[in-house]
Amino acid sequence: MMNEEQRIFKGILFSPANPKLRAIKLQAHNLSSLYSRTLENETETRESILNQLLGSKGENCFIQGPVFFHYGTHTEIGNHFFANYNLTVQDDAKVIIGNHVNFGPNVTIVTPVHPLVASERRQMLDQHGNAQLLCYAKPVTIGHDVWLSTNVTVCGGVTIGDRSVIGAGSVVMHDIPPDSFAAGVPCKVIRTITEVDSMIYKPDILADCQVMKDGHFE
């Protein structure tokens, strides 16, 4: 028989009050709290906490804090990740974040889903016939080189494709294809990001800076 954590990953109903799940969450909540109380220049302490908190983490990651991870160990982060203030990751199901991903302030990722019918939300019978509060969860995958602007919420079951940008205040409820600029509530694709969006075509803003491609100056 599957344990409750396996049920989460299977995408079927599970009991969030299960003692083993509560122990995982307690550790994640405590480590999140510890991280949130560190100073920005306490880099070794922060690195140590993240290594205990997360399922995996790549190189050159910076999370501003404060942070909140629900399970922590269910989140995997790639290389060169940046998250601004107030990152919340409700990672009941897996949350996979690619390389060179940037989050603005107040980004929230939520994977759990509760029944819509009120009586079912209060209690249902679990696999053992016991009355329990039950929910289920859907994973989130965020590709490489994605930018989530301020106050973006990503809901369970969503995949955001590589190199996409999500506009401020969006609620992402459906998959976003690669190379897309998407925004809104619910979030929808506005258009494809193309070479025309390059800073090359904004000389007044580019000023005396230069664009690089493949490690070479344009």
Catalytic residues: 114
- DSSP assigned state of 171: E
| Residue showing tokens 């302030």 | 105
How distant, in Å, are the alpha carbons of 81, 87, 113, 122, 136 from that of 64? Answer: 11, 8, 28, 36, 30
With a CB cutoff of 8 Å and minimum separation 6, the contacts of 153 are 107, 108, 109, 110, 170, 171, 172
Helices (H), the chain: 4-10, 19-36, 43-53, 118-122, 203-206
Query: Burial code of 178-199, b = ≥16 C-beta within 10 A, e = fewer?
Result: bbbbbbeeebebeeebeeeeee
The secondary structure of 58-102 as a DSSP string is -SS-EE-S-EEESSSTTEEE-SS-EE-S-EEEE-SS-EEE-SS-E
